[in-house]
Amino acid sequence: MLGLTTGKKKLIHVWVINKMKKYDCLFIGNAIVDVVSNVSFEFLKKQKIDVGSWRPTSVDVISQLQNNMENTLIASGGSAANSAVGFSLLGGSCSYIGRVKDDKFGQLYIKDLEEANVDFVSSAVQSGDETGRCLVYVTPDAERSMRTYLGAASNLSPQDINYKAIGDSEFVYVEGYLWDEPIAKESCKKAYEVSKEAGTKSVLSLSDSFCVEKWRSEIRELTKISDIVFGNEEEVMSLYETSILSDAISAANNEMNLCVITRGSQGSIIVSSEGVEEVAAYPCEKVLDTTGAGDLYAAGFLYGLKNNLRLYECAQLGSFSSSQVIGRLGPRPSDNLALLAKNEGFSV
């Protein structure tokens, strides 16, 4: 088993995977269909969408906006689902929990995950809100502007949590976005409770600095009992209410078991019982779309742990995986991700 305990960290250097588990990782998140398109600045202006903005919208508005999009790429999205697909493409065995309706987009969502060898271990619901969608407009500067209808995803309940799948997994990965909906928050709490009982290691993605700011005290308590926490520098600094990264690192070092901080082109920082280690970013020839960058980093890092790599090697694989998605449109890297990693000398 992994050498982690809750509370003050106690981390051994090598992570030993329990081969008796059915899945390496179970991912839980907002099940949202991503609809991605390259657009011009003029197009956004006509649609009255500010560059780089994000807004929640109603189902009627999302449908109207989608009808105006052209040459779209459609994929089963949401932060945790992006990580699940990346993890699977590298060679990991994984499953996913999310709430979709049994409608056109819900069926597409499930089929897309299953084609990526990610087991969908929830059941599509027959009534209620439609399956969630996120429209992602990518401008020539690789900036993303988004409009999101959460739909069914916002109603993820404790009843949607597959307890057996948690017990069957070495890790359970939860995205912080879920904390923004009361019933989904209860689902997160239940997943953590079951994971502790089952000996499954908990992984938390902070997801968004605004979400962290809104629920800071609760999320901070959650990070203390998480075995691994992923977050970018803005999210981690927001968690500790500081504008000084070194102060946030010190706080994380005191409170967390293992914290991994991503910094885009500046690489990433590993905060563990072994100390603080900086790892350079893997270069990308041309950044086209940053959708899924952090999600693929987490996928690569976790897959490195699955293969008992040293922490800095996990960070290198995470950075490489991230580089393979930001050079493409949409949240997915090439289906040949594992082969590309092997060609770069990674042990996958």
User: Cβ neighbours of residue 283 under 8 Å, at least 6 residues apart?
Assistant: 323
Would you place residue 15 in the very low, low, confident or very high pLDDT band (cuts 50, 70, 90)? low
**Of 78, 86, 81, nearest in space to 302 by CA:** 86
What is the β-pairing status of strands 118-120 and 132-138? unpaired
Residue 271 in this model has a pLDDT that exceeds 90: yes
In the chain the domains, ranked by start, together with CATH numbers, are: 23-343 (3.40.1190.20)
Cβ neighbors of 22 (< 8 A, separation 6 or more) are 93, 168, 169
pTM: 0.90
Range 306-310 average pLDDT: 93
pLDDT of 294 over the 70 cut: yes
pLDDT digits (tens, 9 = 90+) for 207-262: 888 889 999 999 999 999 999 999 999 999 999 999 999 999 999 999 999 999 99
> Nearest 5°: phi and psi at 100?
-130, 160
Q: What are phi and psi of 183, to 5 degrees?
A: -70, -35
**Distance in angstroms (rounded) separating the CA atoms of residues 300 and 44:** 33
